[in-house]
Amino acid sequence: MNRALQPGLHGAFMAQGFGLLAQRPEPVGVQSLAGVRLAVKDVYDVAGLTCGAGNPQWLQGQPQARVTAASVSTLLACGCHWVGKTVTDELTYSLAGINVHYGTPINPLAPERLPGGSSSGSAVAVAAGYADLALGTDCGGSVRLPASYCGIWGIRPSHDRVSAEGCFTLAGSFDTVGWFARDGQTLALALDCLLPASTEATGVSRPRLIVSEDVLGLLDDDVRDAFEAWLKTAAIDPERLPPGRLPLAEWAAAFRTLQAGEVWQRHGDWVSRVSPRFGADVEGRFENASRITSEQRWQAAQTRLQARSTLARLLGSDALFLLPPVPAGAPRLDASPAQVSEVRLRSQQLLCMAGLAGLPQVVMPWRRFDGAPLGLSLMGAHGTDHQVLEAARFLYRQCIQPLEPAP
């Protein structure tokens, strides 16, 4: 039976496969990640292990993997050293980091707060120093949100550019491979391995930065004030989008509808047949997913097309959105379900843009609010992954690191 390793490792790891890997791929070229410790979310196939996806009943119904997932194999071939599999929210259908079966991984930088999900274990493994690099997945923010909550770097690459072969799927039109690191260089080395720069078009050297008033309106007051003050201190004068240009509440609702429809289409038969025991929040999402109609999905698909068109027009070929990836730091562990839900809904309005349009987004450490880490992020046009990460590393070195040390 798979279980979480508690608590000395912050509850980040599953017992299955911890410290062991029976099959190592042949090295490929220069091992740019030689010695880098790799943790892997328990949604990736690893030869000799069984993918649990955060739910014991799912685990029981899966065969032992015979082939290791493409992204895991690539990173190991680039020199990574295997550490283990990490805890995930159930079937990745959550942003909180709470798992009723395996526990809530402990946020190393704010132990009294949630770590964020669904890639909670991977984020915690990196933030606590047990791994230098950790694979997660991002459907609705499951890399970007925990990266922000845990004060580390994270990337959601452009949709469908990094192979998801051998990875559990929640909602295929949104799911991406993603990863965490404590520094931008390690994040970039992994990007070079998983998505060689030669596959990307040449970008501009000086991107325009865009700040949206619709985004700022969703932030906690102290976060918005700090963000505006930081822009002045760092001498950043971005292009401003006036209120009403980004209908974020409408976009987030469309995202939830489309995601739920895909989730039920893929997993509804299993849920109906097995009647698995879920945590209350995940169970509620599956119940809602079961009621999504084809008409609702069609209307939401039209909204997604509008969102993609709007964002493509605003970004063009030379612009990046600059924004906190979420409105505030992580909720406290003793927050009520209603409080956690409110934070989730507000966060989705910021996170849904990259999901709907398949855009790359990089999260970097920024500062703390009442002891809770909060990141900043850059989001660019589809296919500009290396450019977005390069710009984020430059921004961090020039405008964040000298003013506010990383949490």
- As averages over each run of 10 residues, the pLDDT of the chain (407 residues) reads 71 89 59 92 96 97 96 95 96 96 96 98 98 98 98 98 97 98 97 82 70 98 97 95 97 98 98 97 97 97 98 95 98 94 95 98 97 97 96 95 61
State the pLDDT at residue 407: 46
What is the model's pLDDT at position 19?
80
CB 134 within 8 A of CB 314: no
Q: Can you tell me the distance from the alpha carbon of 37 to that of 39, in angstroms, rounded to the nearest whole number?
A: 7
**Which residues are within 8 A (CB) of 56 and not within 5 positions of it... i.e. 6 or more apart?**
1, 2, 101
Q: Cα separation of 158 and 168, whole Å?
A: 18
Q: What is the pLDDT of residue 25?
A: 62
User: Which member of 118, 122, 148, 347 is catalytic?
Assistant: 118
Q: What is the pLDDT of residues 122-165, one digit of tens each?
A: 999 999 999 999 999 999 999 999 999 999 999 999 999 999 99
From the candidates 73, 120, 142, 212, give the one annotated as an active-site residue: 142
Amino acid identity, position 355 = G
CATH no. for 1-407? 3.90.1300.10
How big is the chain, counted in residues?
A: 407
Residue 65, pLDDT score: 96
| Catalytic (active site) residue 118 | yes
So where are the chain's domains?
1-407
Q: Give the CA-trace dihedral at 180, 184, 185, 190, to 10 degrees.
A: 30
Note the pTM of the prediction, 2 decimals: 0.95
Q: 111 CB contacts (<8 Å, ≥6 apart)?
A: none
Element holding 341 (H helix, E strand): helix 337-357
Verify whether residue 142 is a known catalytic residue.
Answer: yes
**CB-CB contact of 145 with 97 (8 Å):** no
Is residue 41 among the annotated active site residues?
yes
